[in-house]
Chain A
Amino acid sequence: MKALLCLGLFFLLPGALLAAPAAENETLQFFAEEAQVSAAVKRSQKVAEAPASAYVITAEDISSYGYRTLAEALQSVPGIFSWTDRNYSYLSVRGFGRPGDWGNRVLLLINGHRMNDNIYGSFSPGFDFSLDMASVKRIEVVKGPGAALYGDNAVFAVINVVTWTAADAAPARVQAEGGSYGTHREFAELSHQFKDDWQLYGAGSYRRMQGQDLTYPALTDANGGHTAYNADREESYTLYTSLSRPGWLFQGNINNRYKQIPTGSYGDTFNNNGSYTVDSRSFLELSMTDRQVLDAVKLSGRIYTDWYGYHGDYISGSPMTNQKDSAKAFWYGEELDARLTPFGEKNPLLLGEEAEKTALGRQNLYIQGGATLLNDNRTEYRYAVFAQQEVQLLDPLRLTAGLRYDHYQSFGGNLSPRVALVYTPWRPSTFKLLYGTAFRAPNLFERFYDAPLNAEIPNPNLQPENIRTYEAAWEQSFGRTASASLSYFQNRIRNLIDQVTDSVGNSQYVNSDNVRTDGVELAVKAAFTPDFSGHLGYCIQSTRLVGGDRLTNSPTHLATLGLSQRLARGKARVSVETFVISDRTTTAGTTLPAAALLSVSVRAQPWWESLTLYAGVRNILDAAYSVSGGLEHTQADIPQDGRNFNAGLEYRFGRPHARP
C-alpha cells in the first residue's frame, strides 16, 4: 500500500510542480497579450511616429560597450563611421565624410544647445568633445536634413546629447582609469536635489595621454627617419554644470584640449614635437520648455552666449619658423518657439524665431618673431523664422510640413522646406516618406582665411551648399523587445563647398561639384532576454560626383554588430562589438583595403553595488585600419589605433546604484 502511495506521489508530484509555474507564467502571459493591444491604443508620439529617421544610444549602451568618446558611440549608428587624423576626429554620415571638414555638415547639440562654433562650423566628437561620456545619459541621432527646424550645419544629421540631472544621478560618483599609450583619466560628478524640484548637477574630468610613436613612410625627419617620437601627447579637461527644475534649465560648460600634431600636416617639420593645437569651447544658456501661457499655447525658448578659441603652433622650414595660428569667436543669441493647437491636440503648429550675433570672429596668423600674416576681424548677424504643421490626415496617416527661412548678413536668405508622411497601418509597423532640404552656410574660415604665404586664399563670395534628401523608411516593432528599420535614402548636394588647388598651387574654398548619394540602411535592436541584448547596423551606399567618380573616403559597405550579456546573477556584463568597413579611396587617389575591428568590454560589481570595475580592449585582433589623409597631409592615409585597452573603476556615493 505504501509502495503504491509513493509511486502515486512520484508521478503526481512532478505534475504539481509543473502546474505551479504554468499558473505564474499565465499571469505574465496575460499582461504580455494585453501589452500588445495597449501599445496599439496608446497615443503618445514615439520614435516610430517621428517624422524623421531617428536612432537613440542609451547610457546602458555607452557603459556596456565602453564608449570613451562621442565618436565611438556614433560609430554604432548605421551609416556613420568616425576617424581621427591624429589631431581632430571626424564623422562620415551616409557615405559623406570629407577629411578636414571638421564635422561642419552635422549639427551637434548639448541639451538642445548648438555646439558648432562660428569660425569653422565645427565640433569634434573625439577626446576633445565638450563632455565626458560619463555625463551623457542619452544620444539622439536624427539623420537626414534638419534645416527646416535647426538651420545651418544640419545637413546630414542632427545629434542631441542629453546629460544626466540630479534626478538620475547618485549624490556623488568618481571614476579613475588608465590605459594604453600612457593614458589616465579622472572623472567626478556631484548632484543634489533641492526642495521644489530644483536640481543641481556638475561633472568634470581630466584626461592625459602620453601618446604613441607613429611611423609614416611618406615622411622623413632631419635624420632620415620615418617615426615621430613624443609627438602625440594629448591633455584635456571638461566641466559641465546645470541647475534645473521642470521646464527650466540653466547650463554651463567649459572644455579645453591640447594636442600635439605628429603627422607633419600643413608641411610642418616631421618628428618635431613643437607643433600642437589648443581648442577651447564654453557656453552659458538659460532655456525654458513647454511653458503653458494660454490654453492652446506652449512656449519654449533659450538665451545663450558662447565662446570658442583655437590656437596652433606649426613648426616648419629650415631655418625653422613657428607659425602661430589662432581664432577666437564670441557670439550670443536667442530663440523662441510657440507650440499651438488651433486645430486640436492632434494637429499641433510650431512657430519659431531665432537671432544670433557673432560679436567677435577673429582669425590671426603670424610668424613668431616675424610678420603678421593675417589679422581678420568680423562681426555678423543672422536670424531665422520657421513653422511646422502636423496634420492627422486619417487615423493611421500623419503629415508633417515645415518651412524655415534663414537670413545671413553675409549671403542673404535661404529657404528650407521639409515634408514627412508617416503611415502607421497597425501599431507595430510604420512607413515614412520624407523629403527635406538643408544648407551649410560658408563659415568665416572658408570665406576670409587669407594667408598667401601659405598658399591659402580667401573667397568672400562663397555661397551656401544645398542638399536635398528623399527617404523612404519602414520601421517595425517586434513586441516590446525588438525593433528594426529599413530605409532607402537619396541625397543631392548642390554647390558643394570644397577646397581646391589652382594652377599655381593656391588652395581656396569654392562652390564646386554636385554630389549624389543613393543608399539603403538597416538597423536592428533587440533585447532577447532581460540580460542579453544586441544591435545590428548595415549601410550600403554610393556617393559620386554627378557625372564623375566615387567620392573619396566613402565606403560602399558599413556594418556594426554589438552583443551584450549580463552574467553572474547580474553582477557582471560582457559586451562585444564588431565594426566592418569596405574599401575606399583617399584624397591622394590610392585605395584603402576593407577592415574589420573587434572590441570587447567588461563591467563587474564583484563586491559592492557601489563599486564597479570596467575594462575594454579595442581592435582586439590588432587589425590594420587606415583612413584617408586630407589635403593638408603628405601621406595618403593615416593609420588608426591598433589593439589598445583601458581599465578603471567607478565608485558611487549613495544610491541609486546602477547595475553593470
Chain B
Amino acid sequence: MPVPERSGRIRRLWAVILFTLLAAGGPAASAAEATSVAAVLSSEIGPYQEALKGLQGEMPDVSAFFLTRGEPEIPASARVIVLFGSKAAIREYPDGAVLVYAMASGVMLRTKRSVKISMLPEHRTLLSDLRIIQPELKRLGILWVSPHFKTYASELSEAAKAFGISIESSQMDDESDLPEHLRRLYGKVDAIWLVPDPLLVNPKGLPVFIEFSHANRVPLFVPTGGLTDQGATAAVGPTFREMGRLAAAAAKKALKDEAQESTIYSSNVEIIINKTAAAQVGLKIPEEALWSARQVLP
C-alpha cells in the first residue's frame, strides 16, 4: 500500500528540522569550544603564524593573543590554554586550566594538567625516514644542552634497536663544549641528529654543526625545514602548522577530560633534502627519499 503523500511531507519536514538543529548545534558547539580555549603566542613571526593556522584550522573561533602586543586577556571561561613558544609557556595561568604547549623545546612544565606538543617527530617515524634518506645508517649521534632531551634520547635509543641503529648521545653542560663533543663523535657515528634545542640551534651553535658535518663528511639531520638551507643535509620533522593541529587535537581531548600522553610526538612529518649539502658529505640520496620529500633543495 503506498505511503500517503501527507506522511512523506511530514517526514521531510522533520528531516529538515533535525538537519537544521544539527547544523546550528555545530557552530554552537564550536562557539562553546572557542570560549573554553584560548591561545597565547610568544611572537608574531612566521612559525607562530603557521602554528596558529594549524590550530584555527581545527578550532576556527579560538581567541589568539600575541605577547608582543601586550598582556593577554584570557577569558575566565578558558579551560584549556594553548601556548606557543617558551615565553608563553613559562607564564602564570589560572590553576584550573589545562595547558597545551608547543614549540617550547627548552621548557618542561611540571604541572600535572599540561600536555606538551613536541617539535620532535615520533621515534619510529624519525628512524624510518632517516633510513630512507641514508639506508646505511647504523650509528646516530645526538647532542643536547637543555636537560629535557634526555628522556627523548633514551626513548629513541630504545626504539632504534628495532632498526639495528645504535644511538651515541651525550648531554653537554654548555654550548661552549660543542666542539669537544663533536670531536668525540667523530668516527663513532654515521650521522648526527640535531634536536631542536634552542641552546644549540642558534647563530653560534648551528654553524659549528654545519662546519663539522661538511669538514668531516658526517650527514647532519635537523628537525625543521628552515634549517636545511643553512647547510644541513636534510630535515625530518613536523611543520609548525602540524604542531598547531596537534595542539588543537590535544585541546579537544582536554575539554572532554580524556586521558592523553603528557608529551605528544607527531607521526605526520615532512622531509626536506638539501642535495648540495648531501653531496658535500658524500651522501647519495636514494630515489625513494627524493620522491618522499616535500621539497628538494638543489
Contact = CB atoms under 8 A, between A and B. Distances in A.
Interface of A: 22-24, 26-35, 37-39, 41-44, 46, 58, 137, 167-169, 480-481, 527, 530, 570, 609, 655-657, 659
Interface string B167-205: 000000111100010111011000000001111011110
B180 A656 contact: no
A31 B229 contact: no
A35 B226 contact: no
B207 A530 contact: yes
A48 to B, nearest CB: 11
B203 A32 contact: yes
A438 B11 CA distance: 98
Given A27-B226, A46-B174, A167-B180, A35 B215 contact: no
The listed residue with most B CB atoms (<10 A of its CB), out of A22, A27, A58, A527, is A27
B144 to A, nearest CB: 11
B233 interface: no
Contacts of A41: 86, 90, 106-107, 146
A41 B207 CA distance: 24
B62 interface: no
A481 to B, nearest CB: 6
Interface stretch (B21-29, B43-51, B52-60, B278-286): B43-51
Given A656-B183, A656-B215, A35 B106 contact: yes
B216 A28 contact: no
B219 interface: no
Given A33-B85, A37-B106, A26 B45 contact: yes
Contacts of B107: 37-38, 41
B295 to A, nearest CB: 12
B83 to A, nearest CB: 12
A34 B199 CA distance: 8
Contacts of A655: 186-187, 215-216
A138 to B, nearest CB: 9
Kindly state the interface size class of chain B when it binds its partner.
35 or more
B226 A34 contact: no
B145 interface: yes
Contacts of B103: 30, 34
A37 B90 contact: yes
B104 to A, nearest CB: 7
A28 B206 contact: yes
Interface string B78-108: 0000000111001000000000000111110
B224 interface: yes
Contacts, number: 124
Contact of A168 (B42, B180, B203, B225): B180
A244 B186 CA distance: 18
20 contacts: A24-B229, A26-B47, A27-B226, A30-B85, A31-B198, A31-B202, A33-B45, A34-B85, A34-B106, A35-B202, A37-B87, A37-B90, A38-B146, A41-B146, A42-B147, A42-B199, A168-B183, A530-B207, A656-B186, A657-B216
Contacts of A167: 180, 183-184
Given A27-B227, A656-B183, A481 B204 contact: yes
A44 to B, nearest CB: 6
A141 B227 CA distance: 37
A169 B45 CA distance: 42
Interface in B128-175: 145-147, 173-175
The 4 A-B pairs at the shortest CB distance, nearest first, are namely: A27-B226, A38-B106, A34-B198, A37-B86
B77 interface: no
B198 A35 contact: yes
B199 A35 contact: yes
Contacts of A657: 215-216
Contact of A28 (B180, B186, B215, B230): B230
Contacts of A26: 45-47, 226
A122 B184 CA distance: 36
A28 B203 contact: yes
Contacts of B105: 34, 38
B173 A527 contact: no
A570 B46 CA distance: 31
Contact of B42 (A33, A35, A481, A530): A33
A562 to B, nearest CB: 18
Contact of A609 (B48, B175, B215): B215
B239 to A, nearest CB: 11
A43 B196 CA distance: 18
A24 B212 CA distance: 21
A29 B68 CA distance: 15
A578 to B, nearest CB: 25
A35 B216 CA distance: 27
Given A24-B230, A655-B216, A481 B203 contact: yes
A289 to B, nearest CB: 14
Contacts of B226: 23-24, 26-28, 30
Given A480-B175, A656-B216, A527 B204 contact: yes
A43 B230 CA distance: 30
A229 B233 CA distance: 62
B41 to A, nearest CB: 11
